Amino acid sequence: MIKNTIYVYLIIIATSNILFGCNSRNERVSNTKPNNKKDNYTTKIEDKKIGRVTFFLENSGSMFGYVDGTSGITEFVDVVSELAEKPDFVNDKTLRDFYFINGIDLQITPLGNNPQVLIRKLNRVGYNCGSVSNSNLNSMFQKAMSVAGGENVSVLISDGIYDVGAKSAPFAALAIEGRETRSRFIERLKKSNLQTILIKLKSKFKGDYCFASRPGSSPINQQRPYYIWLFGESILLNKYFSDSYITEKLKGYENYARFLIINENAIPFQIVSSFNRKGTFKLDRQIKNKIIDVKPDRKGQGFQFAVAVDFSSLPFSDSYLTSISNYDCNLNYKPVKIERIEANQKFEITTFKNPTHIITVSTDKNPYGNLEIVLKNEIPNWIKETDIDNETHIDSYHTFGFKFLTNAISEAYAYKNNGKNIASFKIEISK
- The residue range of the domain holding 289 is 269-376
Report the candidate in 317, 294, 303 with the shortest Cα–Cα distance to residue 375. 317
Query: What DSSP designation does 300 have?
Result: S
93 lies in the same domain as 150: yes
Tell me: do 275 and 348 sit in the same domain: yes
Task: Give residue-wise pLDDT tens across range 256-279.
Answer: 999 999 986 789 999 998 899 999
In our burial notation (b when 16+ CB lie closer than 10 A, e otherwise), range 368-403 reads: eeebebbbebbbbeebeebbbeebeeeeeebbbbbb
Q: What is the pLDDT of residue 190?
A: 87
Number of H helices, E strands in the chain: 13, 18
pTM above 0.85, yes or no: no
Residues 332 and 206 in one domain: no
Q: How confident is the model at residue 17 (pLDDT cuts 50, 70, 90)?
A: very low
Q: What is the mean pLDDT of residues 129-151?
A: 93
Query: How do strand 152-158 and strand 52-58 relate by DSSP bridges?
Result: parallel
Instruction: Tell me if 389 sits within 8 A of 171, measured CB to CB.
Output: yes
Q: Under 8 Å CB-to-CB from 200, ≥6 apart: which residues?
A: 225, 227, 253, 254, 255, 256, 382, 386
**Residue 263: predicted pLDDT:** 81
Both 199 and 248 in a single domain?
yes
The whole-number average pLDDT for the span 37-41 is 42
Q: What integer pLDDT is reported at residue 173 of this predicted model?
A: 86
428 in any annotated domain: no
Residue at 390 is within a domain: no
Does 33 fall in a domain?
no
User: Model confidence over 352-372: pLDDT tens digits?
Assistant: 988 999 999 999 999 999 999
Residue 39 placed within a domain: no
- The answer to whether residue 314 sits within a structural domain is yes
**Do both 255 and 282 map to the same domain?**
no
Choose among 37, 396, 17, 66: nearest CA to 193.
37
pLDDT tens digit string along 379-413? 989 999 999 999 999 999 999 999 999 999 999 99
- Contact in structure between 272 and 341 (CB atoms under 8 Å): no
Is 254 part of any domain?
yes
Q: Is the pLDDT of residue 14 over 70?
A: no
Cα–Cα distance list, 50 to 46, 316, 417 (Å): 11, 20, 25
At residue 153, the pLDDT reads 98
Tell whether 367 is covered by a domain.
yes
Residues 373/335, Cβ–Cβ less than 8 Å: yes
Domain identity same for 273 and 258: no
Mean pLDDT of 170-178: 87
170 and 60 within one domain: yes
Distance (Å, rounded) from C-alpha 261 to C-alpha 397? 29
The three-point CA angle 109-113-118 to 5° equals 65
Task: Please choose, from the candidates 197, 207, 204, 258, the residue with its C-alpha nearest in 3D space to the C-alpha of residue 228.
Answer: 197
Separation CA 276–CA 295 (nearest Å): 15
Predicted local distance difference test score (pLDDT) of residue 32: 45
Beta bridge partners of 338: 359
- Residue 2 predicted with pLDDT over 90: no
Q: Three-class SS of residue 89?
A: helix
Split into its structural domains, the chain has a count of: 2
DSSP annotation of 167: -
Same domain membership, residue 118 and residue 230: yes
- Pairing mode, strands 95-102 and 52-58: parallel
Which pLDDT belongs to residue 6? 41
Shared domain check, 225 and 80: yes
User: Which pLDDT does position 44 carry in this prediction?
Assistant: 58
In a domain, 290, yes or no: yes
The arrangement of strands across the sheet holding 334-340 comes to 269-272, 303-309, 357-363, 334-340
**Are 255 and 276 contained in the same domain?**
no
For 45, 281, 300, 304, 332, the CA distances from 364, given in Å and listed in that order, are 44, 15, 8, 9, 8
Residue 165 and residue 108 share a domain: yes
Return all residues near 362 (Cβ < 8 A) that are at least 6 apart.
Answer: 278, 302, 303, 304, 333, 334, 336
- Does residue 273 share a domain with residue 252? no
Q: What pLDDT, in 10s, does the model give residues 209-220?
A: 998 888 889 999
